[in-house]
Amino acid sequence: MTRIQVLLCSGTACQSSGSDKVKRALLEALGLHGLLEEVQIIETGCMGPCELGPVLLVYPEGTFYVRVRPEDAAEIVEEHFLKGRPVQRLLWTEGAPRPREIPFFARQVKLVLSNCGTIDPEKIDEYIAARGYEALGKAATGMTPGEVVAEVKRSGLRGRGGAGFPTGTKWELVRAGAGDPKYVICNADEGDPGAFMDRAILEGDPHSILEGMAIAAYAVGANHGYVYVRAEYPLAIQRLQTALAQARKLGFLGPGIFESDFSFDVEIRIGAGAFVCGEETALISSIEGRRGEPRPRPPYPATSGLWGKPTLINNVETYANVRHILLHGAEAFAAVGTEKSKGTKVFALAGKVQNTGLVEVPMGITLRELVFDIGGGVPAGREFKAVQIGGPSGGCLPASLLDVPVDYDSLSQHGAIMGSGGVIILDDAACMVNMARFFLEFTADESCGKCVPCRVGTQMMLRILDRIVAGDGSEDDLTRLTEIGVMMKKASLCGLGQTAANPVLSTLRYFPEEYRAHIRDHSCPAGVCPNLVRYEVLAEACRGCDACRRACPTGAAQGKAGNLPYRIVDELCIRCGACFDACPFDAVRKEPR
Amino acid sequence: MKGKPMTKDAIAARHPRSPEALLSLLHDLQKANPENFLMPDDLALAASHAGLPLAAVRDAVTFYSMFSLRPRGRHIIRLCESPNCHLAGAWSALDELRGSLGVDVGETTSDGAFTLELTSCLGACGVAPVMMVDDEIVGNLNPERVRNTLARYREGR
C-alpha cells in the first residue's frame, strides 16, 4: 500500500538539473529498503522555483526539498521515509518544510498552475481526478454555445498573450463570423525572452489547454483546432502528443463528444524558429505553409483567419483559464483581480532577484509584492534599480513606480505592458541604455522585414544606440530616438514593430540622466558599456601576479612584483577588458569614466 | 526517428498532401539527413507533395532559422543569447564552445559532429545559461558542463 507519495518535478529546467538521475537514485534506495510498494514517485510538471532544481515534494505532510542530488537519495529514504525525520539540509529554509510556510509560495494564487507540479501530466486519469474535462462536459451537455460565450464574457477574462483583448468578445466575434468551417488555434509559440509560463503549462498540464480549446470550439462553432508550438519545446510537443492521444481514446476529442453532436479534434503544428510567428496573422501564415509574415489587420482573424475563414486564436494561458470559469462560474473567477483585469497572471521572475522561477498571482498585486515579497528582493549587497516587464515589447519601470498595481491598464499607462509575463529584475549594476540596446538588437534581428517602419526603424534606433553606448552620441540623438519610436508605434504593421521601441522609450522616460551621462560625460554610470569605463587596480587586492600586464595588448597595464600595486594607464587603454578577465583576485575594477 | 532509415517518399507519405503539411514535412526531411540540411531534391519533393510551386517552398525555407540549405553537423548546438542567459554568463559558455569545438558561430566542426548556432530564448531561464543540443536542454552552463556535454555527444551519448 502506498504510504508516501513523492512528487518529483520533471519540467524542462529540473530535467536539465538531473531530475531523472534523482529518480533512479531514489528508486534504487527504495528497492534496497524494500519500500517500492510503499513509496510512489510521481513525475509532475513545473513547481516554480526552477533555479533550485531538482525539487520534490513529499506527501502526505508536504515536505519541499530543493537542490536534490542523486547522492541525497539514500539519506532521504533512510532518514525521512523510514524514520520520519525530514532532511533539514535539503529544505528551502531550515525549519520550514511546507510550501505554504515559504514566502515564495505563500503569496501565490494557483489557478492556471493548480495542476502543474501536482499531477502527472502524462496520465489523463490524474487530470480527470482534478475535475478535468468536467467543464467540457458541462458545456457540451448542459449549455448552449451562446451561454458559454456569455459566461466567458462575464468572467472578464482577457487574452494572456500580451495585448489583453477581452476573450469573450473575441469568441463572440468568431461565433458571429460568416464562413464555414471555423477554426480554433492555440498560440503556443512562446518566444518572449524570459517568458516560460506557456512552456510550463504545456509540459505540466497539457489537457487543460486541450479542454479549453474544445470548450472554445463548442462556443464558436468550430470542429477543427491547431496548436502551434515552437520547435524549441520538444518536451512540450511530446506531452501534448501524449495528451491528444489519450483524450481521443477516451472520447474527449473526436466525434460526438459527451454523446452530444459536437465534434472536435486538434492537430499540432510545429514552428521553425521565427519569433514573429507569435503574432497571430504571422502564425496563421506559418500554419498555411508560408513565410511567417504578418499582414495588415483588419480583417482580423475572427472574420478572416486560417484559409480566409473565421478563426479564434488565443494563447496557452488564456485557454488554461477557461475550464475554471465554467467550473466555478464567472463570478468566482471575476472575484479575483481588479476592476478591468480579472483572475490571475503567471509571471516568470528572472534577473537579479533572490527567488527566480514561475509564479501565479492575482491581478492587481503591486510590483513591490511581486519583486520583494515573492521574489525575495535583490540579492544582498546590491540595490534594486528597475523592473523590465513585458519582454522585448515591454518597458523598464523604476523604483519610484514599485507600488503600481500589476494589471493591463496600469502597466500600459506607465509605458510598460503586461506582455506574456516575463519579468526581469535589474540591480544597480545594470546600464539602462545598454539594456534598451540589447532588447532593440533582438527586435531588429527578429523583424520580419515586411513593413518599412519596423524594418528600418529598428535598424536606425539600433545605430543611434550603438553610437551612444560607444560614447559618440549627441543630444539630438535623444529627440531622434523618440521620434522614430513614436513613428514605429503608429505605423508598424504588427505588434512586434508597434512595441519594439518600448524598452527605449520607457528608459528615456525614467532614466534620462543615464542617457545624458553617456552622451555628455562619455561615462557609463553603471560601468557596463565597454567604451565608457575606466579600469583601475584596487591596491589592497593586487598581489602582483603580473596576469594583467601579460594580458594587456597595449602595455596599459603596468607594474612590477615588489612594487605594488600594478596600475592601468588610461591614455594607453583600449578598454578591451583583458586585464579585468585575467585578474584572479578581482583587483581590476571597472569604474565610470 | 533516426533508428531506421526511411525513404524520403515514405517520410512524405506520413504527411497530408496539403500546404499546411509543409513545415512538418521539411522538419522530418531535414532530421532524416545526417548532415541536418535540406537538399535541392528535398525541396522539390516537398513542393510536389504539398502542391506548392518550388519558389514558394524556397521562400518559406529561407525565412525560418531552423532550416538550412547547407550541410551541418550531426548535432546542432544552439546557445541561448537572450537577456537572462546573457546576464547569467552565456558568453563564457560561448567562449568554451568556440574553444573546444574550434569553430565560430554558424560553423561546423571538421569531423562533421557539431554545428554551433545561437538562438533566442529557449524558455528555460530558471537554469540559465542554457543551450540545446539537438532536442536536449542543457542548463546551468559553465565551461566544465560544456566540455562534459560535448564529450558525452562525441561518445554517442
Question: Where do the domains of chain B lie, and which CATH numbers do they carry?
Answer: 8-61 (no CATH), 75-154 (3.40.30.10)
Is the Cβ of A232 closer than 8 Å to some Cβ of chain B?
yes
Distance CA A392, CA A348 (A): 14
- Tell which CATH classification among 1.10.3720.10, 3.40.50.11540, 3.90.190.20, 3.40.50.620 matches the domain A124-333: 3.40.50.11540
Beta carbons of B83 and A424 less than 8 Å apart: yes
Backbone angles phi, psi at B66, to 5 degrees: -85, -10
> Which residue would you say has higher pLDDT here, A561 or A120?
A120
Q: Can you tell me the distance from the alpha carbon of A397 to that of A384, in angstroms, rounded to the nearest whole number?
A: 11
How many Cβ pairs within 8 Å bridge chains A and B?
Answer: 134
Distance CA A378, CA A397 (A): 15
Where are the strands (E) in A390-493, listed by range? 395-398, 422-427
List the 276-335 stretch of A: residues with Cβ below 8 A of B.
286-293
Q: Under an 8 A CB cutoff, do A196 and B124 touch? A: yes
**Shortest Cα distance from A563 to chain B (angstroms)?**
32
- CA nearest to A449 within chain B: B63
Query: CA-CA distance, B136 to B132, in Å (whole number)?
Result: 5
Report, as an integer, the average pLDDT of B19-30.
95
CB B137 within 8 A of CB A12: yes
Residue B2 has pLDDT above 50, yes or no: no
Say which residues have a Cβ less than 8 Å from residue A224's Cβ, sequence separation at least 6: A181, A183, A184, A217, A264, A265, A266, A267
- pLDDT, tens only, A456-472: 999 999 999 999 999 99
Q: Is residue A97 predicted with pLDDT exceeding 90?
A: no
Cβ neighbours for A581, distance < 8 A, ≥ 6 positions apart: A551
Percent of chain A with pLDDT over 90: 80
Contact A13 B124 (CB under 8 A): yes
Q: Does domain A432-520 have CATH number 3.30.67.10?
A: no
**Residue in B23, B52, B125 closest to A272 by CB:** B23
Average pLDDT, chain A: 94
Q: Which of B82, B87, B127 sits opposite A16 (nearest CB)?
A: B127
Statement: residue A388 has pLDDT above 80: yes
Please judge whether B127 and A50 are an interchain contact, meaning their C-beta atoms are less than 8 angstroms apart.
yes
What pLDDT is stored for residue B157 in this prediction? Answer: 54
Q: Which residues of B touch A193 (CB under 8 A)?
A: 82-84, 120-121
Does this chain's domain A344-427 share its CATH topology with A432-520? no
Kindly give the pairing relationship between strand A265-270 and strand A224-229: parallel
Report domain A4-101's class: alpha beta
DSSP B74: S
CA quadruple A485, A489, A490, A494: dihedral positive or negative?
positive
Which of A232-246, A323-337, A507-521, B77-91 shows the lowest mean pLDDT across its residues? B77-91
Beta strands in A332-375 (DSSP E): 344-351, 357-362
- Cβ-based contacts of A53 with chain B (< 8 Å): 126-127
Question: Does residue A234 have a pLDDT over 90?
Answer: yes
CA A312 to chain centre: 23
Percent of chain B with pLDDT strictly greater than 90: 82
Which residues from B are below 8 Å from A387, CB to CB?
A: none
Which residues on adjacent β-strands are paired with residue A264?
A254
For the record, the C-alpha cell of A282 comes out as 504571422
| CA gap B113, B107 in Å, rounded | 11
Selected residue with higher pLDDT from A252 and A544: A252
Find chain B residues with C-beta within 8 A of A17's C-beta: 127, 139-140
Segments making up each domain of chain A, as ranges: 4-101, 124-333, 344-427, 432-520, 532-592
Is pLDDT of B4 > 70? no
Q: What is the pLDDT of residues A107-166, one digit of tens each?
A: 999 999 999 999 999 999 999 999 999 999 999 999 999 999 999 999 999 999 888 999
Give the pLDDT confidence of A542-560 residue by residue, as tens digits.
Answer: 988 888 999 999 999 999 8
Domain range A532-592, its CATH number among 3.90.1150.10, 3.30.70.20, 3.30.43.10, 3.40.50.720: 3.30.70.20
A247's grid cell: 483524450
Contact state of B126 with A356 under an 8 Å Cβ cutoff: yes
CB atoms within 10 A of CB A79: 15
Confidence band, pLDDT 50/70/90 cuts, at residue A94: confident
Q: Which of residues 238-277 of A touch B (CB under 8 A)?
A: 269-275
pLDDT at site A34: 95
* B110 CA: distance to closest CA in chain A (Å): 26
The rounded distance, in Å, linking the Cα atoms of A73 and A31 is 12
Instruction: Look at the block and give the residue holding cell 528508486.
Output: A27
Residue of A nearest to B21 (CA): A289
Shortest CA distance from B82: residue in chain A:
A193
Using the predicted structure, report yes or no on whether residue B70 has a pLDDT greater than 50. Answer: yes
> Rounded CA gap, A92 and A497, in Å?
42
In this complex, which of A191, A194, A275 lies closest to B83 when CB atoms are compared?
Answer: A194
ipTM tops 0.90 = yes
Contacts of A439 in chain B (CB under 8 A): 83
Q: Note the pLDDT of residue A1.
A: 82
> Which residues, in sequence order, are CB contacts of A426 under 8 Å at separation 6+?
A351, A352, A384, A385, A386, A387, A388, A396, A432, A435
Fold of A344-427: Ubiquitin-like (UB roll) (3.10.20)
Is the pLDDT score of A40 beyond 50?
yes
Interface mutation vs chain B, best among A15, A232, A359, A528, most B CBs within 10 Å: A232
Mean pLDDT on A172-186: 96
- Tell me which of A88-97, A133-142, A446-455 is least confident: A88-97
Do B127 and A287 count as a contact with CB atoms less than 8 A apart? no
Distances (CA, A) of B88 to A323, A395, B52, B91: 37, 21, 44, 9
